[in-house]
Structure 1
């Protein structure tokens, strides 16, 4: 049986916010790994001399991504660029979706001609009241992603449409970022979208059902979430600060990948 040849991509640049930085896939040394690092490791194992840059910084809005990351990524000449942004904007109480769409379009128009393959995403959404509150904005953003991809030859990784990634068990206690297993599944989804042979064809399959936590355990988790994550997040919104203020890009230069090989 004849199989399709695997793609020969030699470099990857990741652009975005905390999702692409890798929160909350925490390593023992206190740094974050995440789906982009996992993807780079697999691509490096497939292609000797593979190069990787990750410009993502947590908390960035789409305007900041355009101003601080897009032109840098466009000048690197990478084979593959991933762009995920705009979701932080949709979670703000006041969000100008027309401006978000315009900035996303600007980013795609700059990045698509500068690489062999631009990758966009429909981001995953955790089941619960937060998703329901912001679902209309998110779906407006994702419709824009689909339209831009069709117009500019980008591919779209549909994480929003994967039931498995809505499972609360794949989300960290902050309820905003994926666990290590969630990031692994995202890396697999991007890997397959790029045309590589699947290592896990069932990444989108829901996890086996388990008994939900009891009422008392849920209340304890709610209190911890509010104290450790929700209240600091609200404080940053009220003071105009971001969790990424002053932080440099995760991996600012397009250099040979020398991390663990998948």
Structure 2
């Protein structure tokens, strides 16, 4: 709500919240949650921020591994974004996945935190080979909205805007947002939270691409190259019972001060 004073922001989630696809000047992931924290710090200079997200985590993992540490940090603002890794698994249960999200919504709001989340885009518009997943995305979004309404959770409705499926907002692997995509996500959540200076400009379409979009056989070739370079290795890890997040820990497990853009006074 307008006028909320955010002093402790904690982000929970998977690779998108960790920031994959958005490397900073040190080579590590930045991401939309980091960018959102910087936006908040402009108007809330006392903000401290922790990011508990770890790539490869399912909604159940986020629930069981990140909720307790998040609550211990006593956030007044929390973002919870998970479920895309569940969508990609052969056995996907929308009710189970949404149940884990709702449990986190319930506990965080009961603890006094303002909670925000976002809906997922239609992945078929990002890569045609993912068309069979479209009903799963719709099912999860529907349950997520209902759970958010029950607990007063803010929802950034990115799914409603075609620009979020523009491939220029996505990394070459089409699974993680590119820097521009992370910036748009941060702006969408900022608008949903009604942060000062936020607006709906994040939803505006990009200018026409400099090069024409491949069609016909060229488009098919592009899809096959993507499948060989990214989809195949991802499926291989799943078949071997491995995850990109194996042996990884949160990049920012403790609350640390955040410097607003252009401010060098905080680490």
For normalisation by structure 1, the TM-score amounts to 0.90
- Offset of residue 199 of structure 1: 4.5
Query: Does the C-alpha gap of structure 1 residues 130 and 108 become closer, same or farther in structure 2, counting only changes over 3 Å?
Result: farther
1:19 corresponds in structure 2 to: 16
Change in Cα spacing, 1:14 to 1:5, as seen in structure 2 (3 Å) is closer
How far residue 93 of structure 1 moved from its aligned partner, in angstroms, is 1.2
Where 1:72 maps in the other structure, the secondary structure is helix
**Relative to 1, partners in 2 of residues 1:102 and 1:200: Cα closer, same or farther, differing over 3 Å?**
closer
| Contact 1:41–1:261 (CA under 8 A) maintained in structure 2 | no
Q: CA separation of 1:5/1:230 partners in 2, compared to 1, >3 Å: closer, same or farther?
A: closer
Aligned-partner Cα distance in 2 for 1:163–1:93? 27
Q: More displaced, 121-130 or 67-76?
A: 121-130
Contact 1:20–1:84 at 8 Å: present in 2 too?
yes
Report whether the alignment pairs 1:243 with 2:244. Answer: yes
2:83 aligned to 86, 91, 99, which one?
86
Alignment-derived partner of residue 110 in structure 1: 107
Q: Which residue number in structure 2 is paired with residue 212 of structure 1?
A: 212
Report the secondary structure of 1:15's partner residue. strand
Show structure 1 runs of 5+ residues with no match: none
Structure 2: gaps of 5 or more residues = none
Aligned length: 259
1:201 matched to 2:206? The reply is no
Q: Contact conserved, 1:7 with 1:195, CA < 8 A, in 2?
A: no
Partner of 2:161: 162
d(CA) in 2 for partners of 1:7, 1:103: 27
Q: Matches of 1:10 and 1:176 in 2, distance apart?
A: 32
Change (3 A) 1:30 1:46: same
Q: Is the 8 A contact 1:26 1:32 kept in 2?
A: yes
Per-residue CA shift, 1:11-49, capped at 9, x if unaligned?
211000011111101223221111100111111122122
Matched, 1:121 2:118: yes
CA RMSD after TM alignment:
2.2
Q: What's the secondary structure of 1:156's corresponding residue? A: strand
SS at match of 1:109: helix
Name the CA shift for 1:249/1:5 in 2 (closer, same or farther; >3 Å).
Answer: closer
Equivalents in 1 of 2:262, 2:246: separation in Å? 31
1:72 correspondence with 2:69: yes
CA distance in 1, matches of 2:70, 2:112: 9
Instruction: Work out whether residues 45 and 259 of structure 2, in 8 Å CA contact, stay in contact via their aligned partners in 1.
Output: no
- What is residue 233 of structure 1 aligned with on the other side? 234
